[in-house]
């Protein structure tokens, strides 16, 4: 006789009975003393549909009550929290974690295959010591640079806040401050984050939170390893005046033997040369965007080889690596001509001698509107005397090198030559 699904004895040997849930620090709350209710076989798991023990608690003051959503077997298979289904080690969605570790764990979704897969994973969990994840996640590499950058290091207790009061949104809430729900404006319903599914998060597909984090990771700066294997030097910028050579060595010696350490104090940078390429790659991976010494975040990059720098210098001078002279590019402007120099002008520009002539300042005046300026080197030199006692000359009588100002013309001003010392 077939057993119905509603019978108490249906597959009862696989039902879960636990004493404490598997939770992350955020879901557990900031209060170390917590009151939790336990209901044996209270609900069925949202993933494997098997009854399990449900725990319910309040994570803090003015927070909503939370409960476990999946069984502990499904939680251990993915190493996630039973409530929020985020990774217990990094605090990230499963899709982000699997992308960072380059693993693809295809959990079956049909009823028969899912039951068979779950029983096999339970057997593997029972044979393990419980310190490491099981399945493909236990065989994955220990960490990833992308996961370390995106990982949440502190709990995010705002995730436990109450839901928004729907009566307040409609303007009908009469509880006031006693309302246990939030009186805030809801988010845009077209926002992708407003449509989240617990199964999509567990299987790592179509998770809007994971898509947002992956887009953020794609825009983060990264350090590419140079193809030239002879490069074993790292550039460290932003040193300031307080970071010394010994402090740099104390940080970088843990990655391998250091050949030389050169600090350029003028540019506030340093060059760390390792003995092996492997040590340099390890130091670049562990220090890029993570190196902080004396409260200063230092910029770590790969150095350039001597051959590349010499090649750039030769190309800048117009000579290729093979020694061939490069032809000039047509259409580029040539060098500007030197300013005109009056050979008869005195050379004592600083007026150091007692009987020296007054200093001369070369001031180029702009042409009046509508008059084209002559090319450099073809116009007359224009000089203005700095001596306030100098006698102005008319337009036709002024010595070469002096500028004639119409306002200083004695005839225009109505002055007489005798006033200026003339005969």
What was the pLDDT predicted at 296? 83
What was the pLDDT predicted at 83? 94
SS3 39: strand
Cα Rg of the chain (Å, integer):
40
Who contacts 399 (Cβ-Cβ below 8 Å, separation ≥6)? 393
SS3 216: helix
What was the pLDDT predicted at 179? 93
Determine contact, residues 71/48, Cβ cutoff 8 Å: yes
- Can you tell me the distance from the alpha carbon of 96 to that of 94, in angstroms, rounded to the nearest whole number? 5
User: How would DSSP label each residue in 346-384?
Assistant: -S-TT--STTPPPPEEE-PPPPPTT-PPPPTTTSPP-EE
Neighbours of 345 (CB within 10 A): 14
Report CA-CA distances (Å) from 322 to 226, 306, 313, 314. Answer: 23, 16, 13, 10
What was the pLDDT predicted at 64? 93
What was the pLDDT predicted at 93? 93
User: How would DSSP label each residue in 134-146?
Assistant: -THHHHS-S--HH
- DSSP 3-state helix, strand, coil percentages of the chain (rounded to 5)? 30, 15, 55
Determine contact, residues 400/381, Cβ cutoff 8 Å: yes
Report pLDDT digits (tens) over 87-140: 998 899 999 998 888 888 778 888 778 888 888 888 888 888 777 777 778 777
What was the pLDDT predicted at 423? 44
Residues in the chain with pLDDT values less than 70: 1-14, 306-328, 334-335, 339, 341-423
What was the pLDDT predicted at 310? 54
What was the pLDDT predicted at 29? 92
What was the pLDDT predicted at 38? 94
What was the pLDDT predicted at 133? 78
Instruction: List the structure tokens of 229.
Output: 């294997």
Domains, the chain, ordered by start: 10-220 (no CATH), 233-302 (3.30.70.330)
In sequence order, what are the beta bridge partners of 302?
Answer: 234
Instruction: Select from 141, 152, 134 the least CA-distant residue to 74.
Output: 134
- Can you tell me the distance from the alpha carbon of 365 to that of 374, in angstroms, rounded to the nearest whole number? 12
**Tokens 């005109």 -> residue:** 340
**HSE-CB for 392 with a 13 A CA cutoff:** 18
- Angle subtended at Cα 374 by Cα 368 and Cα 379, rounded to the nearest 5 degrees: 100
What does the DSSP 8-state code read for residue 82? T
What was the pLDDT predicted at 12? 62
Determine contact, residues 34/57, Cβ cutoff 8 Å: yes
- Can you tell me the distance from the alpha carbon of 387 to that of 138, in angstroms, rounded to the nearest whole number? 89
What was the pLDDT predicted at 4? 47
Instruction: Supply φ then ψ for residue 263, to 5 degrees.
Output: -110, 125
Instruction: List the structure tokens of 252.
Output: 């970088």
């Amino acid at each position: 006789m077939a057993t119905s699904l509603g019978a108490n004895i249906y597959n009862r040997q696989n039902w879960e009975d636990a004493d404490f849930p598997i939770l992350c620090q955020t879901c557990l709350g900031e209060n170390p003393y917590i009151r939790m209710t336990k209901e044996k076989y209270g609900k069925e798991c949202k993933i494997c549909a098997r009854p399990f023990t449900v725990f319910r608690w309040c994570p803090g003051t003015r927070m909503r009550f939370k409960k476990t959503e999946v069984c502990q077997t499904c939680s251990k298979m993915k190493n996630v929290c039973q409530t929020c289904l985020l990774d217990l080690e990094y605090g990230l969605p499963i899709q982000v974690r699997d992308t960072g570790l380059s693993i693809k764990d295809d959990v079956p979704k049909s009823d028969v295959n899912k039951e068979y897969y779950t029983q096999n994973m339970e057997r593997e969990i029972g044979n393990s010591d419980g310190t490491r994840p099981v399945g493909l996640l236990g065989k994955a590499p220990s960490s990833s640079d992308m996961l370390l950058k995106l990982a949440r290091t502190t709990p995010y207790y705002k995730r436990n806040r109450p839901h928004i009061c729907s009566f307040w949104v409609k303007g009908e809430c009469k509880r006031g401050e006693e309302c246990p729900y939030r009186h805030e404006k809801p988010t845009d319903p077209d926002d992708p984050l407003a449509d989240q599914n617990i199964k999509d998060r567990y299987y790592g597909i179509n998770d809007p939170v994971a898509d947002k984090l992956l887009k953020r990771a794609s825009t983060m700066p990264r350090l590419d390893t140079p193809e030239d294997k002879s490069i074993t030097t790292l550039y460290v910028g932003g040193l300031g005046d307080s970071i010394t050579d010994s402090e740099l060595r104390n940080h970088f010696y843990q990655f391998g033997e250091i050949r030389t350490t050169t600090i350029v104090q003028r540019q506030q940078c340093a060059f760390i040369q390792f003995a092996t390429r492997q040590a340099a790659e390890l130091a670049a991976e562990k220090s890029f965007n993570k190196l902080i010494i004396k409260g200063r975040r230092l910029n770590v990059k790969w150095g350039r080889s001597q051959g590349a720098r010499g090649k750039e210098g030769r190309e800048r001078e117009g000579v290729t690596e093979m020694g061939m002279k490069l032809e000039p590019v047509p259409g580029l402007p040539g060098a500007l001509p030197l300013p005109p120099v009056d050979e008869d002008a005195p050379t004592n520009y600083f007026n150091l001698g007692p009987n020296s002539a007054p200093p001369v300042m070369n001031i180029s005046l702009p042409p009046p509107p509508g008059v084209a300026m002559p090319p450099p080197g073809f116009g007359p030199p224009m000089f203005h005397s700095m001596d306030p006692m100098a006698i102005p000359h008319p337009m036709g009588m002024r010595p070469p090198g002096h500028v004639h100002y119409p306002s200083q013309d004695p005839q225009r001003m109505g002055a007489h030559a005798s006033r200026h010392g003339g005969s």
